[in-house]
Structure 1
Amino acid sequence: MTVDLTRIDIDNGSLPAPTAEIEHERRVAIFDLVEDNVFQPEGGQGGPYELRLSSQDNRLVFEISGQDYTRTHAMSLTPLKTVIRDYGLICESYYEALKGSSPSQIESVDMGRRGLHNEGAELLKNRLEGKVELDKETSRRLFTLVCALYRRG
């Protein structure tokens, strides 16, 4: 287990207001991400790092700080919007399927859900290339958090 990122703060004032369920999802996503991650900002000296996430002008803003390190990166959400929306829709379908579908139907929806999640994680990792190095699992956890940040009740 590697832990380069030790704290994540969310600027709730700049993001959609969360319902209690969404707030719970955000907390779980943050916990999972902080528990195990590979997060190496370009030019950083090995951490530990803290991350503050906010939204400004339809951009996701990463404020990264550590010992002798401070950088801010703003990333347009436009390339991610479709996959975030589709992932949210398939998650809803998955939860509905759990309520009464056959195991094979649940498995089919879950495969689609995982595929979209991997696609979103890879897209996010590519968008951060040259700014922050992430491993596959960290990019998956970070994508989960981004989806939780932009999910509306």
Structure 2
Amino acid sequence: MREGGRLIDVELDETIGRAAPDVEHERNVAIFDLVEENVFHPVGAPDDVKFKLKLSLVDKRLVFDIRDEAGATLVTHILSLTPFRRVIRDYYMICDSYYEAIRSATPQQIEAIDMGRRGIHNDGSQTLMERLKGKIEVDLDTARRLFTLICVLNWRS
């Protein structure tokens, strides 16, 4: 991983609309954590540039609109969501189970569901890292937070 290059702002396409409070909370936490600590470097960009990212869905494709601090477009990457469909579907199902469990399940049941949720989340994060290879360098923690935002975009659509 190279030194320098990091996100200073992350925005989700707001035309999709608002989501349920649990989903909005996940989005806010992921964006806050992502801006606080990340490794994000578009291939070929200078090392000392800070980036702004807008994530959106266009024609069932994930769009990474990457800009510099001043807002000038640097690069746009468009990824197919096909490789993510299964893991996103599984993640939704386990998140639904988790949110239901926190209302009525035992701590052991909640912990078991949460471990499964983290495992599926890691699978999605690894898929994202593979899809970004050669385009954007990210570490696992950054990929995890970005995967959360991808899921939020899909929940909203």
Q: Scaled by the length of structure 1, what TM-score is found?
A: 0.88
Q: Which residue of 1 aligns with 2:145?
A: 141
Structure 2 unaligned spans of 5+: none
Q: Which residue of 1 aligns with 2:18?
A: 18
Aligned residue among 62, 65, 71 for 1:63 = 65
The aligned amino acid for 2:142 is T
Give the whole-Å Cα distance in 1 for the aligned partners of 2:103 and 2:11. Answer: 34
Any idea what SS the aligned residue of 2:104 has? Answer: coil
Q: Which residue of 1 aligns with 2:129?
A: 125
Residues 7 and 40 of structure 2 are in contact (CA less than 8 Å); yes or no, is this contact kept in structure 1? yes
Residues 44 and 69 of structure 1 are in contact (CA less than 8 Å); yes or no, is this contact kept in structure 2? no
Give the whole-Å Cα distance in 1 for the aligned partners of 2:118 and 2:26. Answer: 17
Q: RMSD between aligned alpha carbons?
A: 2.0
Structure 1 unaligned spans of 5+: none
Q: Which residue of 2 aligns with 1:89?
A: 93
Identity of aligned residues (%): 51
The aligned amino acid for 1:40 is H
Which shifted more, 99-108 or 76-85?
A: 99-108
Any idea what SS the aligned residue of 1:97 has? Answer: helix
Q: Scaled by the length of structure 2, what TM-score is found?
A: 0.86
Give the whole-Å Cα distance in 1 for the aligned partners of 2:63 and 2:57. Answer: 6
Give the whole-Å Cα distance in 2 for the aligned partners of 1:143 and 1:76. Answer: 14
